[in-house]
Amino acid sequence: MEQYIIKGGKPLVGEVTIGGAKNAALGVLAAAVMTDEPVRIHNLPDISDIDILLNAIEALGAVVERPNVHEARIIGGSITTCIASYPDLRKIRASYYLCGAFLGKYKRAEVPLPGGCNIGSRPIDQHIKAFEALGAKVVKQNGMLIAEAERLIGTHIYFDCSSVGATINTMLAASMAEGQTVLENAAKEPHVVEVANFLNSMGANIKGAGTDIIRISGVQSFHGSTYSIIPDQIEAGTFMLAAAATKGDVLIKNVIPKHLEAITAKLVEIGAEVEEFDDAVRVVAKKRLVNTKIKTLPYPGFPTDMQQVMATLLSVAEGTSYVTETIFENRFMYVDELTRMGANICVEGNLAVIEGVEKLTGATVEALDLRCGAALVVAGLMADGCTVVEHIEYVDRGYENFAQKLCGLGASMEKINSEDEKALRRFKLRVS
């Protein structure tokens, strides 16, 4: 098992470049198999979720070439089965996008029920409701989601809640249905727009992505495409908050500032300085930050994926902060770990009340999900002394070269093997 060891107390200073958006890339890669022609995708993040999905696509019979870790060339024409049985698929959330893609293209799909971070019950009732509305028969059995239809007929679908996954999955299936489909109460996240843009680049007819009403005119087939993934809003936000948490001065490059507006607004509100450029933001914090209220909401509200790192930042801010998580029911698992480091946080239902303390102190903590892991790394960067973050395989699912990028900004941290006691001693000697 690998872990990060971090010597805290150093401000992050310098420049960092953000990679492609994980949650957009996963939807785009699933959509890429909907054409029989070659598709070339650039600016993929080099993270384990992407590798798992590409391996699964190759196992289905598609041609998958990797000219480099940030690029994939896919030819879906050689796919031989609609049954996605690649074992690791059930570890990732995005496995279910293959259901919408295959239902649209082949009118049949059998994929593992989704995995992903344990941050709540994460039902897929809205996905199933949409597929059935389009005319599919959908069953869950033996851990698989099975959908099939004689024909997919466009229809009017009203989602009961704003769901990124259900919106993307339904766009995939409806893009090759007969006639018009209207999605109401659709998710508006940047990665929903990205998947719609990619589908349109292959010849789909999707309008309104990024608003809560998406109109889709089904087409019979797609042509090939060359596409580049947008920058990752959550990776960018993580580095913005890390810069402020360490009272640093960081230029975060290759971002879309508009996608970061909710994070920027909160950073300015608590006393950090944020300067926006065309494709970069600079975050500077010189003094102790102050308290605020956070309520996670669907885009363009404050992102749920930023909640944990923001709460970490607020754990040493002056005053009492309130963080309300409205999207997932189990996204405060990091609180017990932060408490080991001296944080003073009380969780009641979906509300965390954070009494700002002077400082955190290093401890051994455990990454319990992807964004929890990122938050604990930021906590380690802020804390006095050494912090060990265990189970960092979660972090590697969503952050490419996380330790390298942070060390490039002056952090003292290493990725070590938990059994390697000498590495731990060597690091502590080196940084003491």
Select 117 or 183, whichever has its Cβ closest to ligand EPZ: 117
- DSSP strand pairing (249-253 vs 280-284): antiparallel
- Contact status: 236 vs ligand EPZ (CB under 6 A): no
Q: How far is CA 160 from the centre of its chain?
A: 22
Q: Does 308 bind ligand EPZ (CB under 6 A)?
A: no
27 in helix, strand or coil? Answer: helix
Quickly tell me which residue has 């598609």 as its tokens. 62
Residue 4 or residue 427: which is nearer to ligand EPZ going by CB? 4
Beta-carbon count within 10 A of 395 CB: 25
What is the closest distance, in whole angstroms, from the C-beta atom of residue 10 to ligand EPZ in the complex? 26
Query: Which C-beta is closer to ligand EPZ: that of 328 or that of 332?
Result: 328
Residue 161 as a binder of ligand EPZ (CB under 6 A): the answer is yes
What is the smallest separation between the CB atom of 287 and ligand EPZ, expressed in angstroms? 30
Among 35, 95, 126, 307, contact with ligand EPZ (rule: CB under 6 A): 126
Distance CA 159, CA 167 (A): 8
Please select the residue that binds ligand EPZ; options are 3, 35, 43, 163, rule is CB under 6 A: 163
Shortest spacing between CB 93 and ligand EPZ, in angstroms: 4
Cis peptide before 303 (omega within 30 of 0): no
Binding to ligand EPZ by residue 242, rule CB under 6 A? no
Least distance in angstroms from the C-beta of 429 to ligand EPZ: 35
**Residue of 219, 415, 317 whose CA lies nearest to 424:** 415
- Select 120 or 319, whichever has its Cβ closest to ligand EPZ: 120
Which one of residues 10, 12, 23, 186 is an interface residue with ligand EPZ (CB under 6 A)?
A: 23
Q: How far apart are CA 268 and CA 274, in angstroms?
A: 7
Q: How many Cα neighbours within 13 Å face the side chain of 144?
A: 16
Task: Rule CB under 6 A: say whether 235 interacts with ligand EPZ.
Answer: no
In 177-215, which positions are buried (b, 16+ CB within 10 angstroms) versus exposed (e)? bbeebbbebbbbbbbbbbbbbbbbbbbbebebbbeeebb
127 near ligand EPZ, rule: CB under 6 A:
yes
Q: Beta 156-158 vs 2-7: how paired, if at all?
A: unpaired
Catalytic residue among 82, 117, 372, 386: 117
Nearest approach in angstroms of CB 245 to ligand EPZ is 19
Min CB(159)–ligand EPZ separation in Å: 8
Cα–Cα distances in angstroms (integers) from residue 148 to residues 31, 97, 199, 204, 347, in the given order: 18, 15, 21, 21, 43
DSSP letter for each residue of 282-322 = EEE--S--B--EEEB-STTSB-GGGHHHHHHHHTTSBSEEE
By CB atoms closer than 10 A (0-12, 13-18, 19+), residue 418 is middle
Binds ligand EPZ (CB under 6 A): choice among 244, 327, 338, 352: 327
CA dihedral 93, 168, 276, 241 (to 10 degrees): -20
**String marking each residue 64-103 x if it binds ligand EPZ according to CB under 6 A:** -----------------------------xx---------
- Length of the chain measured in residues: 432
Q: Is 169 in the site for ligand EPZ (CB under 6 A)?
A: no
Q: Which is nearer to ligand EPZ, 70 or 371 (CB)?
A: 371
Structure-block tokens of residue 38: 């070659």
Sheet containing strand 205-207, strands side by side: 156-158, 180-184, 213-217, 205-207
Active site residue 117: yes
Instruction: Kindly state the tokens that stand for 153.
Output: 């007929």
Helix (H, G, I), strand (E, B) or coil at 19: coil
To ligand EPZ, the closest distance from the beta carbon of 196 in angstroms equals 14
Say whether residue 295 binds ligand EPZ (CB under 6 A).
no
Of 29 and 386, which CB lies nearer to ligand EPZ in the complex structure?
29
Q: Is 56 in the site for ligand EPZ (CB under 6 A)?
A: no
The span of 56-64, 114-122, 136-144, 224-232 binding ligand EPZ (CB under 6 A) equals 114-122
CB–CB of 280/253 below 8 Å? yes
Residue 184 in contact with ligand EPZ, rule: CB under 6 A: no
Q: Which residues pair with 178 in a beta bridge?
A: 153
391 sits near ligand EPZ (criterion: CB under 6 A)? no
Which is nearer to ligand EPZ, 11 or 190 (by Cβ)? 190
231 binds ligand EPZ (CB under 6 A): no
Contact with ligand EPZ (CB under 6 A) among 30, 370, 383, 403: 370
Q: CA 399 to CA 375: how far, in whole Å?
A: 12
Catalytic residues: 117
Applying CB under 6 A, the residues found at the interface with ligand EPZ are: 22-23, 26, 93-94, 117, 120, 122-127, 161, 163-166, 187, 189, 304-305, 327-328, 370-371, 398
